[in-house]
C-alpha cells in the first residue's frame, strides 16, 4: 500500500510494553499511516488534548489505569472528538471485551494479536474497504473523481455520524412514529451504528426487528456493503453449518461446486441472525468460535478464512431465561448481548398508530399502482385504537391489506376492517348485539377434508382461481368480471395486483 493512500490517517497506539508498541507501530507505518505512541493513560490523555487522531488503539491494562479510562475521556468529548477506539484485551477475557464495546469502543482484539486481523480491524474503523473485499466508491462521488483503488478520505466515518435533525437518514424515517419509545430506539440505532459492537434486538413477533437491524446497517459505515438476513429457525439442523460457513466441492454428496456461506456473503457488511434463540446448542458453539476468531472454515476445507462481519441478532425469546434453562450458551449470550435494543409492542405506543397506518396504506397503494392512497374513516380508526394487536405491526399491515381489498370507496370503513367484536370496547351495546347476531346467522364454513397447513396461501390460491375464471368468462373485462363477484373496478385491480393475476389479449375495463 502506498504512503499517499493512508497519509491522511493519524493513529495513537497506547501500550505499556515497548516491544508490542514497536510491533504495532511498524505494522501501521508499513500501511502508510501516521503513528504516535504512548505508554500510560496520563501520557495518552495529554497527547489527545494536544491534537486529534483518526483512531486510538489501546491496551486494556495500563500501569496507571485502564484503556477504558481513555475511552471514557473520548466519549465525554463527543461529538467534538471523532476518534474510533480499538481495545486490545487479554486472551479469553470476554468480559473485558464486552465492557469495552459497551463503553464505546469500535472493536476489540485479543492477545496474541494476529497482525492480519489487526490491519483489517484498523482499516474497518477508518472506513477503508476490507483487504479481501472489493473497494466501494461512495455513491456521492463519480467513479472518475477518485484514483483507482482509493476511497474518499473520511467518507465512511462521516456516514456513521448521528443524523442531524434536518437530515434524518431514510433508514430511520422508515421507523414510523414519534413516541418516546421509538425516539429511544432511533437514538440507540445511531449510537450502535458507530461501532462494531454486536447488537441484540429483542421484541415480540411483528414489531419490526429486521427493520431495526437494517437501520443499524444503513446508518453505519457499512451501509454500502451487503446486508444478509438469516432466519435461524427456518434452516434444517443438518444444513446449518454448510449454510452459515459454506462448503468445498466434494465435501458431501451433492456438493458439486464450492459455495460461500452467509458469513462470506456478508463480508464487509452486516449479518442479521433472526430468531437466534432457535439455534441448536451444537451450532451455537460453532457460531461462538467464528465470532471470537473472526474466521470461518467451510465444510470440507482444511484452513480458515478471515471474515469481517458485523453481527446483529434478534429474538422474541427471553435469552436470559433460555440460558438459565440450559437451551442457550451463556458465553454466546454475552457475546451477542453487548448492546440490547428493545422494540416496543404496538400496544405500548398507540400514539404512533396514525403515522404507521398512513405509511402502510401509502405502500399498499403504491404496490397496487393506485393513487391517492385510501384513508381510514374515523370509526374505523377508533376500532383500531381499541385493538390489542397481539401480532403488532405485522398484524396491522394484514388488517389494512384486507381492508383495502374489501373497501368500495376512497375511505376504509369500520366494516372493512372485520375486527372481532370482542376486541372492540366502549362500543354501542345494540351495535355489538347486532354484530353477534349477524355472526351467529352466518353460514358455517365447510370442515370436510384435510385442513390446509398454510391458510393464507390456500385462500390466496382459491381467490386467484376465482378471479382468473371470472376474467375468462367475461373476456378479460375487469369491470364486468368484478361486478359479477360484487367488486368495484378498484377492488378488482387491487386484488389482481396483489395476487399477480395477469390478463392476456383484450384488457378492456
The three grid cell numbers given for residue 329, joined into one nine-digit string: 450458551
Gyration radius from the chain CA atoms:
28
Cβ contact 74:47 at 8 Å: no
Q: Is the pLDDT of residue 275 over 60?
A: yes
**CATH T-level topology, domain 348-441:** Helicase, Ruva Protein; domain 3 (1.10.8)
Q: Which of 214, 193, 18 is nearest to 106 (CA)?
A: 193
Q: Which residues contact 263 (CB under 8 A, 6 or more apart)?
A: 244, 245, 246, 271, 290, 296, 307, 309
pLDDT for the residue 462:
82
- Give the model's pLDDT for residue 194: 81
Q: Give Cα 233 distance to the centre of its chain.
A: 17
Q: What size, in residues, is the chain?
A: 509
Architecture (CATH level 2) of domain 3-128: 3-Layer(aba) Sandwich (3.40)
Please provide residue 431's backbone torsions phi and psi, each rounded to the nearest 5 degrees: -65, -40
Contact 122, 57 (CB under 8 A): yes
50 three-class SS: helix
- Ranges of each domain in the chain: 3-128, 170-344, 348-441, 455-499
Q: What percent of the chain has pLDDT over 70?
A: 81
Give the model confidence (pLDDT) of 401-456 as tens digits. Answer: 888 888 877 888 888 887 753 343 444 555 545 544 544 444 444 434 456 677 77
- Between the CA of residue 423 and those of 270, 327, 442, what are the distances in Å? 40, 36, 19
Number of helices (H) and strands (E), helices first, in the chain? 23, 16
Which grid coordinates belong to 288? 461462538
- Confidence at residue 191, expressed as pLDDT on a 0 to 100 scale: 84
Q: For residue 101, what pLDDT is reported?
A: 81
Reference 11, options 121, 116, 94; nearest CA is 121
Give per-residue pLDDT as tens, 91-101.
556 677 778 88
For residue 92, count other CB atoms closer than 10 A to its CB. Answer: 11
Confidence of residue 216 (pLDDT cuts 50, 70, 90): very high
Of 3-7, 37-41, 268-272, 372-376, the least confident: 3-7
Burial of 134 (0-12, 13-18, 19+ CB in 10 A): exposed
**Is residue 138 pLDDT above 80, yes or no?**
no
- CA-CA distance, 181 to 40, in Å (whole number)? 41
pTM of the entire structure?
0.65
- Three cell numbers, residue 226: 451487503
Shortest CA distance to 225 belongs to which of 169, 174, 274, 159?
A: 159
In this predicted model, which residue has the larger pLDDT, 37 or 132?
37
How does the average pLDDT of the chain come out, rounded?
80
| 170-344 shares the fold of 3-128 | yes
Q: Residue 200 is placed in which grid cell? A: 441484540
> Percent of the chain scored above 90 by pLDDT?
33
pLDDT (tens digit, 9 = 90+) per residue, 340-394? 999 999 999 999 999 999 999 988 888 877 778 888 988 888 889 888 888 899 9
Tell me the average pLDDT across 189-199: 85
* Residue with more model confidence, 99 or 139: 99
**Residue 287 to residue 289: CA distance in whole angstroms:** 5
How confident is the model at residue 128, as a pLDDT?
Answer: 67
The helix/strand/coil state of 133 is: coil
The pLDDT value given to residue 132: 41
Q: What is the pLDDT of residues 15-34, one digit of tens each?
A: 999 999 999 999 999 888 99
Which of these, 243, 312, 244, lies nearest to 272 by C-alpha position?
A: 312
At residue 126, the 3 state secondary structure works out as coil
The pLDDT of residue 483: 79
Split at pLDDT 50, 70, 90, the class of 499 is: confident
CB count in 10 Å sphere of residue 140:
9
Cα separation, 490 vs 16, in Å, equals 73
pLDDT of residue 100: 82
CB 264 within 8 A of CB 228: no
Residue listed under C-alpha cell 464487509: 268
Specify whether the CB–CB gap between 87 and 58 falls below 8 A: yes
Question: Is the peptide bond preceding residue 56 cis, with omega within 30 degrees of 0?
Answer: no
Q: Give 482 or 59, the one with higher predicted confidence.
A: 59
The architecture (CATH level 2) of 170-344 comes to: 3-Layer(aba) Sandwich (3.40)
233, pLDDT greater than 70: yes
The yes-or-no verdict on residue 243 having pLDDT over 80 is yes
DSSP state letter for 317? S
Give the model's pLDDT for residue 402.
86
Cα–Cα distance, 192 to 208 (Å, whole number): 17
Mean pLDDT of 316-323: 91
Identify which of 29, 330, 30, 269 has the alpha carbon closest to the alpha carbon of residue 133.
269
CA 479, 485, 491, 494 torsion: positive or negative? Answer: negative
Mean pLDDT lowest for which of 170-179, 189-198, 266-275, 419-428? Answer: 419-428
- Using CA atoms, how far apart are residues 129 and 37, in angstroms rounded to an integer? 25
Q: Given this model, what pLDDT does residue 271 score?
A: 95
Helix axes 392-406, 378-385, angle to 10 degrees: 150
Which carries the bigger pLDDT value, residue 440 or residue 314?
314
Distance, first Cα to last Cα, the chain: 65
The answer, yes or no, to whether residue 159 has pLDDT greater than 70, is: no
Judge contact between 484 and 470, C-beta under 8 A.
yes
- Is a pLDDT exceeding 80 seen at residue 396? yes
Amino acid at each position: 500500500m502506498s504512503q499517499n493512500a493512508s497519509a491522511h490517517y493519524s493513529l495513537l497506539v497506547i501500550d505499556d510494553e515497548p516491544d508490542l508498541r514497536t510491533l504495532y507501530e511498524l505494522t501501521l507505518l508499513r500501511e502508510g499511516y501516521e503513528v504516535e505512541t504512548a505508554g500510560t493513560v496520563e501520557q495518552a490523555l495529554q497527547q489527545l488534548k494536544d491534537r486529534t487522531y483518526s483512531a486510538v488503539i489501546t491496551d486494556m491494562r495500563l500501569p496507571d489505569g485502564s484503556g477504558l479510562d481513555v475511552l471514557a475521556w473520548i466519549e465525554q468529548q463527543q461529538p467534538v472528538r471523532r476518534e474510533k477506539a480499538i481495545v486490545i484485551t487479554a486472551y479469553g477475557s470476554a468480559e473485558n471485551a464486552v465492557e469495552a464495546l459497551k463503553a464505546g469502543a469500535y472493536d476489540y482484539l485479543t492477545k496474541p494479536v494476529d497482525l492480519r486481523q489487526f490491519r483489517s480491524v484498523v482499516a474497518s474503523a477508518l472506513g477503508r474497504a476490507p483487504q479481501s473485499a472489493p473497494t466501494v466508491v461512495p455513491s456521492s462521488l463519480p467513479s472518475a473523481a477518485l484514483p483507482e483503488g482509493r476511497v474518499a478520505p473520511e467518507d465512511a466515518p462521516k456516514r456513521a455520524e448521528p443524523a442531524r435533525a434536518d437530515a434524518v437518514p431514510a433508514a430511520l424515517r422508515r421507523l414510523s412514529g414519534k413516541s418516546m419509545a421509538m425516539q429511544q430506539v432511533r437514538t440507540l440505532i445511531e449510537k450502535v451504528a458507530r461501532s462494531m459492537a454486536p447488537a441484540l434486538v429483542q421484541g415480540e413477533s411483528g414489531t419490526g426487528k429486521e427493520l431495526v437491524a437494517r437501520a443499524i446497517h444503513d446508518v453505519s459505515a457499512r451501509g454500502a456493503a451487503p446486508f444478509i438476513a438469516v432466519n435461524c429457525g427456518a434452516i434444517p439442523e443438518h444444513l446449518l453449518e454448510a449454510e452459515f460457513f459454506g462448503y468445498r466441492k466434494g465435501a458431501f454428496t451433492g456438493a458439486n461446486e464450492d459455495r460461500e456461506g452467509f458469513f462470506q456473503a456478508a463480508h464487509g457488511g452486516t449479518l442479521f441472525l433472526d430468531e437466534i434463540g432457535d439455534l441448536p446448542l451444537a451450532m451455537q458453539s460453532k457460531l461462538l468460535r467464528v465470532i471470537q476468531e473472526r474466521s470461518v472454515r467451510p465444510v470440507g476445507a482444511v484452513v480458515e478464512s478471515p471474515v469481517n462481519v458485523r453481527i446483529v441478532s434478534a429474538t422474541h425469546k427471553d435469552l436470559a431465561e433460555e440460558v438459565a434453562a440450559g437451551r442457550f450458551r451463556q458465553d454466546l449470550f454475552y457475546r451477542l448481548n453487548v448492546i440490547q435494543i428493545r422494540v416496543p409492542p404496538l400496544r405500548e405506543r398507540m400514539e404512533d398508530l396514525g403515522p404507521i397506518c398512513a405509511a402502510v396504506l401509502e405502500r399498499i397503494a403504491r404496490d397496487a399502482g393506485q393513487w391517492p392512497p385510501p384513508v381510514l374513516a374515523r370509526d374505523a380508526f377508533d376500532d383500531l385504537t381499541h385493538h390489542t394487536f397481539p401480532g403488532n405491526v405485522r398484524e396491522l399491515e394484514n388488517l389494512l391489506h384486507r381492508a383495502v381489498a374489501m373497501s368500495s370507496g376512497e375511505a376504509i370503513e369500520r366494516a372493512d376492517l372485520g375486527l372481532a367484536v370482542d376486541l372492540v370496547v366502549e362500543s354501542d351495546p345494540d351495535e355489538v348485539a347486532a354484530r353477534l347476531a349477524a355472526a351467529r346467522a352466518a353460514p358455517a364454513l365447510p370442515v370436510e377434508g384435510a385442513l390446509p397447513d398454510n391458510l393464507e396461501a390456500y385462500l390466496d390460491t382459491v381467490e386467484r382461481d376465482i378471479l382468473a375464471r371470472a376474467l375468462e368468462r367475461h373476456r378479460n373485462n375487469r369491470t364486468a368480471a368484478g361486478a359479477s363477484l360484487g367488486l368495484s373496478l378498484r377492488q378488482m385491480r387491487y386484488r389482481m395486483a396483489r395476487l399477480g393475476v395477469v390478463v392476456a389479449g383484450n384488457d378492456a375495463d
